[in-house]
Chains A and B, each alone.
Chain A
Amino acid sequence: MSGLSLFWQRYRRNRPAVGGLVVLGLVVLAAAFGPLAYGIDPFDMAGRPSTLPSARFPLGTDVSGRDILAGLLAGARVSLLIGIAASLTATLIGSAVGATAGYVGGWLDAILMRVTDFFLTIPSFVFAVLIVAIFRPSVAVITLAIAAVSWPSVARLARAEFVSQRHREYVSACRAMGMGHLEIMLRQILPNALPPVVVIGSLTVASAILAEAGLSFLGLGDPNIVSWGYMIGVARTVLRTAWWMSAIPGVTILVTVLAINLVGEGLNEALNPRMRPR
């Protein structure tokens, strides 16, 4: 049986994870094709303000008469884009730092881990707010800010994996064969250390989406695009008269993040069969 079908056989056993994958797939489709298929500009003040769902506006309009469904579709792009890009960046940085610290050991390990622990100490959301405030909000800055506060936990995990692999026999064998350190790290140890890193990377996508929502709720979103957090921030002003306007983007965030977390747990069980939770 191929590795992939073995993986799928294990993943499939976790029903919630399969459900999460289906929902996530729908969100990805909505983000990819939704804005084009729906064809309405989320910034266009197309109707009367604060209308209830109708045939013309399936989810109603916001305080400025903008189509809420169009906003959700545009926001899906932003959330997924920032979530995935921030997680990838954080996973790359974290893995590089953790792998180096774990493989090399000694004083370099001590220094790198001190730096990592230091970044774990700083209140991450406050730090992200400051980075975005200093460099002004844009998709790139927000992504980097979230990555900057997310990499330390990846680094800790990657280090633990590399430390546990470093003294295994296959590593000694590679060294005896004259293989270079970089080659051992990347081609020999990394494949073994990858499963837990993949899992934490997928969970980081979820936390990044939540962080982006928080930032744009505070008004630290990219001013040129609609995001879910921004929509909640706008709708908040009419919470008393139109609560659904805040509720809709919030539920969207909840469902998306829940789906990603379920997929993450499914990956965890399929990739690390021994670490299955009880």
Chain B
Amino acid sequence: MSRLTFFALRIAQAVPAILAIATLNFLLLHLAPGDAADIIVASSGHGSPELVAELRRSYGLDQPLHVQFLVYVGRLLSLDLGTSLVFNRPVIELIGERLGATLIVMLTAIGLAVLIGLVLGIVAALRHRGWLDAFVSVAALIVYATPQFWLGLMLIVFFSITLDLFPSGGMRTIGVELGPLASVLDVARHLILPATTLGLFYVAVYTRLMRTSMLDIMTLDYIKTARAKGLSELRIAFTHAARNALLPVVTLMGVQIGHLLGGSILVETVFGWPGLGRLVLDALLQRDLVLLLGILFVSSVVVVVTNLLVDLLYGILDPRLAS
């Protein structure tokens, strides 16, 4: 199988996944007590039976279920996720406006986590059973047990309220005109605490994974060969072993992207970050199910697409997989 066929096959495999997400969304929408018409009438506070019937007709709710399903999928394919009841605007627009901010936090958090995790993991493996190795293991256990949103609050207490080092919320300083560079720096300053809150868990995950992975690889024959050639231990670790030890890290990144998104939503609500998390909170307060379903759909698609990208990356990192 050529690399091109491998890529084409992987892309084709994403289609049923997205259809399955659409189906789940449709089922959830119909499991909810009352339909869209009831919800609209209830949220506007007044409505006659005639109005409800009229709304049902206009939303196609009087059609048989399988027809409704086909219509629903057709709409999703044309990126029509319905209209938010709270904002009275298309859901896809609302999500589009917020997705960028969420991706910034997510990518910063995961990028830092991978970088720090790799270095700490390699060093811990080189100093196997040393004090740093022990510290990393204990710290990881504590981080695993910490509720992320609470960690965010504690970071605010320490770094914003007590030390006044970083802003406690938002994405930009309000009411100040800034040049292009200054405004990037301003966002970066606001980003540090949320990205740290979100990323710390993954630092622990990747450190531990990289450590185990390195320990396994350092016993392999090709490493012994490198040692026999007289290369330094550090050089072997970083150039020979790390490249192969990276593969499980890349896999895990793909698997965890959904987890990361969920965490991001909680962390954003703590820091008032204007991403999907805030949108979820607004939707929850008003019980805007259409908006919530739209967020679930888009975030699931983000996961599917990321997994696809990870697979493609994997095909490049390890050419054996594509053959």
Chain A residues close to B by CB (< 8 Å): 118, 120-127, 129-131, 133-135, 206, 210, 213-214, 217-220, 229, 232, 236, 239-240, 243, 246-247, 250, 253-255, 257-258, 261-262, 277-278
Q: Which residues of B contact A130 (CB under 8 A)?
A: 28, 289, 292-293, 296
CB of B284 within 8 Å of the partner chain = yes
Q: A219-B284, A229-B147 are in contact. Are A258 and B142 (CB under 8 A)?
A: yes
CB of B63 within 8 Å of the partner chain = no
Q: A134-B31, A219-B284 are in contact. Are A206 and B265 (CB under 8 A)?
A: no
Q: Which of B183-229 contact A (CB under 8 A)?
A: 212, 215
Residue on A nearest B137 in the bound complex, by CB? A277
Chain B residues close to A by CB (< 8 Å): 17, 20-21, 24, 28, 31-33, 128, 141-142, 144-150, 153-154, 156-157, 161, 212, 215, 255, 258-259, 261-263, 265-266, 269-270, 280-281, 283-285, 287, 289, 292-293, 295-296, 299-300, 303-304, 307
Q: Which residues of A contact B307 (CB under 8 A)?
A: 121
Q: Roughly how many angstroms separate A239 CA and B150 CA in the complex, as a whole number?
A: 11
Q: A122-B21, A123-B258, A124-B259 are in contact. Are A239 and B147 (CB under 8 A)?
A: no
- Whether A118 pairs with B262 at a CB distance below 8 angstroms is no
Q: Mostly helix, strand, loop or mixed at chain B's interface?
A: helix
Q: Which residues of B contact A210 (CB under 8 A)?
A: 147
Q: A123-B259, A133-B287 are in contact. Are A253 and B147 (CB under 8 A)?
A: yes
The answer, among B141, B144, B145, B263, for a CB contact under 8 Å with A125, is B263
Q: Roughly how many angstroms separate A239 CA and B296 CA in the complex, as a whole number?
A: 31
Q: Roughly how many angstroms separate A118 CA and B142 CA in the complex, as a whole number?
A: 30
- Whether A129 pairs with B284 at a CB distance below 8 angstroms is yes
Q: A129-B292, A262-B141 are in contact. Are A239 and B153 (CB under 8 A)?
A: yes
Mind listing 11 A-B residue pairs with CB under 8 Å?
A118-B20, A121-B21, A122-B300, A123-B259, A126-B265, A126-B299, A131-B28, A210-B147, A217-B147, A232-B153, A277-B212
Q: A218-B269, A220-B284 are in contact. Are A123 and B299 (CB under 8 A)?
A: yes
